[in-house]
Copies of this chain bind each other. A is one copy, B any other.
Amino acid sequence: MNPTRPLKSRIDASQGRIPCDLVLTNARYFDVFTCAWKTGALSIFDGVIVGVEDPLPAKRSIDLKGAAVVPGFIDAHVHVESSLMTPGEFEKNVVSRGTTAAICDPHEIANVAGTSGIEWFLKCAEQTKLDLRVMLSSCVPASHLETNGAGIITGKHLAPYQSHPKVLGLAEMMNFPGVIHTDDEVMNKLEQFSHQRIDGHSPLLRGQALSSYLVGGASSCHECVFLDEASEKVSKGMSVWIREGSVARDLENLIPLLKMETSTSLGFCTDDRNPLDIREQGHLDYLVREAIRRGTAPELVFRSASWSVARHYSLDKNDIHGNIRMGAIAPGYVANLVVLDDIRSVAIREVFQKGIPASELQFAKLPDPSFSNTVKISALTEADFLAPKGRVHIMDVLPGKILTDRHVGNSDDPGVAQLTVLERYGHFQKPAHAYAKGFGENFKGAMASTVGHDSHNLILVGTNAGDMKVAAEALAKSGGGFCVVQNGAVLAQLALPIGGLMTSQTSAEIHQQLTALKEAAKQIGCELHEPFLQLAFLSLPVIPSLKLTNLGLVDVDAFQLISLTV
Contacts and interface: CB of A to CB of B under 8 A. Distances in A.
Contacts of A413: none
Contacts of A210: 331
The oligomer's copy count stands at 2
Interface in A226-276: 231, 234-237, 260-262, 264-265
Contacts of A179: 11
Contacts of A211: 14, 50-53, 331
Contact of A235 (B38, B262, B318, B332): B38
Nearest to A261: B35
A314 B194 CA distance: 13
A31 interface: yes
Contacts of A265: 33-34
Interface stretch (A86-94, A119-127, A214-222, A383-391): A214-222
Q: Chain B CB within 10 Å — which of A34, A51, A179, A322 has the most?
A: A34
A237 B179 CA distance: 37
Contacts of A70: none
A208 B11 contact: no
Interface stretch (A2-10, A61-69, A77-85, A535-543): A2-10
A286 interface: no
A509 interface: no
Interface string A182-194: 1000010011001
A321 B195 CA distance: 8
A314 B21 CA distance: 33
B34 A231 contact: yes
Nearest to A218: B332
A3 B384 CA distance: 52
Interface string A12-55: 10110000000000000001011110100000000010111110
A164 to B, nearest CB: 15
A190 B7 contact: yes
A15 B209 CA distance: 8
A53 B7 contact: no
A212 interface: yes
A33 B239 CA distance: 9
Contacts of A261: 34-35, 260
Contact of A50 (B212, B260, B321): B212
A320 interface: yes
A34 B322 CA distance: 34
Given A33-B234, A333-B237, A216 B7 contact: yes
Contact of A7 (B194, B231, B331): B194
A197 interface: yes
Contacts of A180: 11, 15
A476 to B, nearest CB: 44
Contact of A187 (B8, B217, B234, B237): B8
A12 to B, nearest CB: 7
A34 B331 contact: no
A262 B214 contact: no
Interface in A306-353: 311, 314, 317-322, 325, 328, 330-333
A11 B330 contact: no
- For the complex of A and B, list the 5 residue pairs with the smallest distance between their C-beta atoms, beginning with the closest: A237-B330, A195-B320, A211-B331, A214-B331, A14-B212
11 contacts: A7-B190, A7-B191, A7-B215, A10-B215, A11-B180, A15-B180, A33-B265, A34-B261, A34-B262, A210-B331, A237-B333
